[in-house]
Every structure is written in structure tokens, then in C-alpha cells.
Chain A
Amino acid sequence: MSKVRRVMLLGMLVTLIVLTVGTMVWVNAADKTIQLKVVIGPDTPDNKAQNQATLERIKRFEKANPGVKCIPVPFTYTSRQEFFIKQAAHAAPDVLDVWATECELLVSKKWIVPLDSYLKKWDKYDWHLPNSFDPFRLKGKIYGVPFSGYVKHVIYNKQMFKDKGVPEPSINWTWDDFINAAVKTTDKEKGIAGFAAMTKGSEGGWALTDLIYQAGGEIETYKNGKYSAAFASPEAISALQFLKDMKWKYDVLPANWSNGWVDVYNVFGSGKAAIVFDADWGRNVAINGQGMDPKNVGVALMPKGNGPKGRQMGVQGGRFYVINAFCPAKSRDAAWKWLTFELWDQGNITGLLNEAEEARKNKQYRAQFEYFPLKPSSPFYKEWANAFAKNSDVLLSWGSEEFLSLLPKTAHTEPPIEAQYVYGQVLSPIVQEVLSNKNADPAKLLKDAAAKFQKDYLDKVKE
């Protein structure tokens, strides 16, 4: 072997060794870096400001937590479909926010992990309202952290009430007051409905539960370790009858009564309905989408149902942060840190001020009704209120002190078992039946549906 060949061979050997060792060191270092998949909004013009704020939050988080690398995943839990697909590919975020109805589904599929061990050590746990974790409490464990909530209530068009000489709802109004207002504000010739109810898709069932709770009924009850379908009670029947009467007796619904979530607020915002039920974001469609004057949007508590058990009540829901069970065990602590990073902190306030600035720039409003899962005495609550007061030109808020203090008392949590199924497949078809068939029998419909749901689902629930 010539000298040149020997040198070349040696050189190649050394290069090989250096590359191998270098790769091992690099892989080892990469292995120590914890990678965390975090949510960022889809890349649309609407999300620009919010996404920029998320990216800045990531920078601050990574700086505060060396060794953690955040990978933004464009995602929103606005339909389950996208989540299922991402889970199949193990590409869903490690920390995500989901609807309040999702606990049972996500736990039964082993997609989320309990957070009790983290919550015990969290200094802000006590800031929360005692029942705010309830939708994500299952079999003695807590699986989610509430960060935004709502209690459904009434919003109405003040101008329409004034034009028709209808007194604005009192704080303790009833179904009779409600239907009187709806009848008086209905103007069929102009295509104006007194009340626009959600009736299409799963929203139809969701909306019926408001009336059932108001009548004093329940959807599911839990006793002696057993869940029961409770929506065939006399109270639930009277609630469905009330909805049926709105169409066939009082005729206060829109001629095109088949409306989903967005449709209802478009109808309201375009001045074609005087009253609707809202949770938190519906009025945004009316105000920013349809150009409705925010000053015309009044709020009232839900009306009290008829009968001895009647009460003022609306669905309580919202969104919860959860940790994906596919998040590797070594990354879970980092996931918890990300979940609580700047939560109920200056970061939220900065985010709110950015939203205010963005709304001002776009000549729009931030039209969301705020219902925090926090105690009013918590420090964050006061800071948030101050930020609202200073930016009241674009940060809209509603309700008198009396209304705001009574609203939590009208809250009713969603059914714990198969809530979305109950809404979409059980109650919504019934709503559509009574609105499309004058001879429909509410009692029979509810009794048949409850018996079937009990047999097919609730009897199979294992404690």
C-alpha cells in the first residue's frame, strides 16, 4: 500500500470516528431536550395577533424553562374530527383546550391524564370557584383546568323592545313574561321573530336542556352508583311542550326555524329576532359580523320555568386545558408548566390589551361575555376588571352588578355521560319533531328516547 493511500485511509477512518462520536453527542443532547407540542391558531388573518402573542409566550416560556423546546401545532378543538385524526398520527398537541362536555369521551378513550398531583401543588388552585372543575371531575379524579366559561343567559334587542313598548326583562322574569315579550316583538309581516331558538344539529338538543333545567328537570341523575336518564320527567315534558307552543300556539319562532349556532346570531344581528339565548361568543357574530350596535344588546337572566320546580337556569360550560396522554412521561412536568404558564397572570392581561388594540385597529369590538371560573376575590379578577374599564371603547362588557352576582346561581353543568350524543342524537331529533309535526306528543317522544338512551348507554356505564 502506497504512503498516499495509507494517509487517505487513515484520514477516512478519523473522519468516520469524529462523525460517529459527534452524532452520538448530538443525539444525546437532543434526547435531553424536552420537546413539547403546543397549540397555535390556524394561520389565518383573524388569528394574526393571537398567534403572534402565542409565539412570544413560547419565547418567554423557553427562556424560563431551559431544556424545553416548544413546537407550535396549528390546531383548534372546534370539531372532534381534526383531533381524532391528529391523535391517530400522534400529532395532536401535548396540551390542548377542549369543550366542557368532553371529559367522559377523552377519559374513556384514555386520551388525557389526571392532574390531581399537579393541582395539589398549584398555588392558584384556590383562586377557582369550587364547582368550576366539576365538568372535568370523573370517578374522583380531575382531568382538566378551566380557563374560560359561560353560563347561558338571554340577550335581547333593546331597540325592538322599546319600539314595541315591551318592558325590558326584570331580574326574576318568568316563562310567562318571556313569551309575552316574544309575542309582542314578533312581526311576521316584516319577518321578525320574537325568539330564535337553536334547533339544528347538536345545538338543538343543547338548547332544549336550558328549558328543561328551567322547568326544574334534569338530563341525567346519579344515585347509588348508577346513572339514570331523567329527561322523561313531567318537568322535561313541560319544557318540550313550551318549545312546541312557541311554534304552534304563539308562533314566535322564525319562519325558517331550522337554525344552528351561527344562524341564530345572524338572525339576531340582522334584526330578524328580538330574543336569543347566548353563552359568551354568540353576540360577537351579531355585533362584528352583522354590524349590530352593541348598545342595543341587553342581557337578562334565563326566565324561570313554570310549575312548582321552576327556576332560572342555563347551561354552564366552557373550555378546559388538558394534557394529552400521548405526551411522553418525561415531558409531562413541562406540559403542566406550559399549561399554567402565565395563566391568571400578567400574560393574560397583555393578551387582552393586544386584543383591544387589534379590535381598535380593525374598527371592531371584542364582543365576548366574560365569565371566569375564578372567585371575585382572586387578585387576577381585579386586574382584569381594571383592563376592561380602561379600554371600554372596544372591550365590551354587559350586565348590572345584580345580574353578575346572580348569574352563577343560575348555572347548571352539562350531562356527565355522552353529553354530545344526548344533544345531537337524542334530543335534537325530538326538538325537530315537535317543530315540524303539530301532532307530535312530547311525553311519548321523551319517554321513548329516555328508555332507549338508558338501555343503550347509561346501563353500560361502569363505575
Chain B
Amino acid sequence: MENANLKPISYIPKKSPFFKTRKFLGTYGIGLAFILPAFLIYGIFQWYPILYNFVLGFQNYTPGVPADWVGLQNFERVLSDSVLPKAFLNTLAFTGWALLIGFLVPVIAAIAITELRKGRSFFRLSIYMPTIIPAISLYIMWMFLFNPAVGLLNQILQFFGLPALEWLLSQKTALVSLVIMSTWANFGSTALLYMASLSAIPEEYYEASEIDGAGIWQRIRYITIPSLLPTMLLLLLIQLLATMQVLQEPFVMTSGGPNNATMTLMYMVYNYAFVYADFGRAGALGIMLFLLLLGLSVVYIRVNKIVQDEGR
């Protein structure tokens, strides 16, 4: 069918070589124009650096000076760095803890708030509040909370007769402390996404189940969780990718210490590049991290598909 909007170019013969281009632009031109600024910004500031990193990993690059190709030398130097195993394990531990706590807490909070009969708006606002606090203020606030002498957390522990903890000062608790803070800071926005998904579940399901005599736990088990599952699986992947790239929290709060107990892979990338001007090594570790995340994502998607197929 002819598009009525193509009238202005109707004088171009159909056999003209420009006909298809003009037709395409006539149909999609305005839409593409809207996308263009975002495309350019992403292209210049996101995709280009990502692609350039694949070059950088194989070069000895000094800012302002032409780079030399060094083959796999940067990768060898990264793999021989004694901090790497510790940073790798820390990153995995942070991700593990963050998924364990940071994945479940928003789901539970979203379901609990949705099930509330009264005060739903208040709790929704309350859990979202930490998200709007600027990151640096948040970290400073938590550093006070974690203070072993006067911090609120130890005051609470001591109130209940429990021993005070060293929090960020102990190699055993520093990483978990960061996970606790990070979960508190971010679970509101994740919970909001779950709540949006929950609101999309037809009310009729719940009404029908209530008529059939289903209690709250049965409603959650047989209606809420199955309906939330696609969102949960998607957010799990996003959280996995985000937490594996953790940098801000240890950078501000612990500088990677004590004794590298909170050193992460991304922090190593930062140090290589912006502290020691070793951009080649930063690029090499960036590539390795990218491949690791790509591998994890592929495995996750495959397993997810198998589970879903078996479910049917």
C-alpha cells in the first residue's frame, strides 16, 4: 500500500536510484533524527571507548605519544600481578553476597509492600529514599555508621548485648559491610521495578484465588512469584553484570583495604590506568573482565532457557 506521507517525493520516478532511500527517509527520517543525538553520544562516549579498549589491551600506550604494539605482554603482566587472585575472589564474593542479599531483599520488600492494605505509598517512598541520596554523601554517612567507636551499628549491637564489630577495619567484615551498604542504597529502585511488574498482574487472579480459599502464602507462591519470574530473571542478570564491576564503594570507603580485602577487578583497572599510567594493562584486564561477563551472561541465558523449556 502506498504511504500517504510520501506525496512530496511522488515526482521521483520509481526507477530512480534514490527512490528507495527517499522512501525510507520519508517513513523513518523523523524517528531516526530523534535517535541520532543519543546514538552519537553513546557512540562517542560508550561504544568507541569499549571498542578502543580491545586495541589498547595489545598496546603500550602513553597518553599523547603514539602507541606501540606489544602482543600479549599486557595480559601476561596482568596475570602475574599478585593482587589479581585476591581481587578476583573479592569481586566474586561481592557479587555472591550482593546477589544473595541484594536480589532477595527487593523481591521480598516489593511483595510485602504490595500485600499491604494500608501505608503502601509511605513504604514505597521510604524504600526509594536512599536512591536519591548523592553517592558520596551516602558513603560518608555509612562510614560514620560503621565507625567502631561511635557508629550507630555498634551501638545497636551493644544495646542487644552483642559484641561490637570492626566493620570496614577488619579483613573479615569489610567486604560484607560494603555489600550491606550497597544493598541498602540500591534495593529501593530494584523493588520499584518489581512493584511495577506486580501491578501488571491481573487483579482477577487474586480475586479468583481468594474465592477458592487461597491464603496469602498460596497467593504469593502460585500467582505472584510465577508472574514475577521473567522480571526476576532479567534483573538477576543486570545485577550480576553491575556488581561484578563494583568500584565506587571500595574506592571511596576503604581505598581497597584493609590489605586489599576490598580490592576488586575494576579497582585494579582504575589503578593501572589512572594511578600508574599503565593503560595497556588496564585495557588487558578490561578485556578479560568483559570476556568473563560475556561468558557468565551466555551461561546464564542458556541455563535460563533450559529451565524455562523444562518448565513447559
Contact indicator B149/A430 (Cβ below 8 Å): no
Q: Chain A residues near B271 (CB, 8 Å)?
A: 424-425
Pair count A-B, CB < 8 A: 82
Say yes or no: A428 contacts B149, CB within 8 Å.
no
A437 and B172 alpha carbons, distance in the complex (Å): 10
Q: A436 at interface (Cβ–Cβ under 8 A)?
A: yes
Tell me the bound Cα distance from A336 to B255 in angstroms.
Answer: 38
Majority SS at the chain B contact face: loop
Known A258-B168, A258-B258, A260-B255; contact A420-B148, beta-carbon cutoff 8 A: no
- Assess whether A85 is interfacial by the CB under 8 Å rule: yes
In this complex, what residue of A is CB-closest to B86?
A429
Q: Are B274 and A256 in contact (CB under 8 A)?
A: no
Chain A residues within 8 Å of chain B by Cβ, number: 38
In angstroms, Cα B276 to Cα A421, docked, is 8
A429 in contact with B277 given A110-B65, A255-B147 (CB within 8 Å) = no
Which of B82, B169, B261 touches A256 (beta carbons < 8 Å)? B169
Say yes or no: is A388 at the interface (Cβ < 8 Å to chain B).
no
Q: With A and B bound together, what is the CA distance between A428 and B271 in angstroms?
A: 14
Main secondary structure of the interface of A (DSSP, over half): helix
* A255 and B149 in contact, given A80-B274, A201-B255, A430-B259 (Cβ under 8 angstroms): yes
Name A423-446 residues within 8 Å CB distance of B: 424-425, 428-430, 432-433, 435-437
Q: In residues 140-192 of chain B, which contact A (Cβ within 8 Å)?
A: 147-150, 166, 168-171
Q: How far is the CA of A85 from the CA of B64 in the complex (A)?
A: 9
**How far does the Cβ of A204 sit from chain B's closest Cβ, in whole Å?**
8
A84 sits at the interface (CB 8 A) = yes
Q: Contact check, B274 vs A436: say whether CB atoms are below 8 A apart.
A: no
B274 / chain A contacts, CB cutoff of 8 Å? 79-81, 84
For residue B169, which residues in chain A have a CB less than 8 angstroms away from its CB?
A: 256-258, 435-436
Does residue A384 face the partner (Cβ distance < 8 Å to B)?
no
Interface centre among A81, A254, A256 (most CB of B within 10 A): A256
Neighbouring A residues of B171 by C-beta, 8 Å: 433, 436-437
Cα-based distance from A260 to B168 in the complex (angstroms): 14
Which A residues lie within 8 Å of B273 (CB)?
A: 84
A154 to chain B, nearest CB (A): 24
- Report A217-232 residues with CB < 8 Å from chain B CB: none
Chain B residues contacting A432 (CB-CB under 8 Å) are 257-259
Asked if B91 is at the interface of the complex by the 8 Å CB criterion, the answer is no
A200 interface residue (CB < 8 Å to B)? yes
Give A204 to B255 CA distance when docked, in angstroms. Answer: 11
B153 to chain A, nearest CB (A): 13
Residues of B within 8 A of A88 (CB): 63-64
Enumerate B191-215 residues with CB–CB distance to A below 8 Å. none
Residue A90 CB within 8 A of the other chain: yes
Q: Which residues of A contact B (CB under 8 A)?
A: 79-81, 84-85, 87-90, 105, 109-111, 191, 200-201, 204, 254-258, 260, 326, 420-421, 424-425, 428-430, 432-433, 435-437, 452, 456
What are 29 A-B residue pairs whose CB atoms fall within 8 Å in the complex?
A: A79-B274, A81-B274, A81-B275, A85-B63, A87-B63, A88-B64, A89-B64, A109-B65, A111-B62, A111-B64, A201-B255, A204-B257, A255-B148, A256-B148, A258-B258, A420-B275, A424-B275, A425-B83, A429-B258, A432-B257, A432-B258, A432-B259, A433-B171, A436-B166, A436-B170, A436-B258, A436-B261, A437-B259, A456-B80
B residues sitting closer than 8 Å to A (CB atoms) are: 62-65, 80, 82-83, 147-150, 166, 168-171, 254-255, 257-261, 271, 273-277
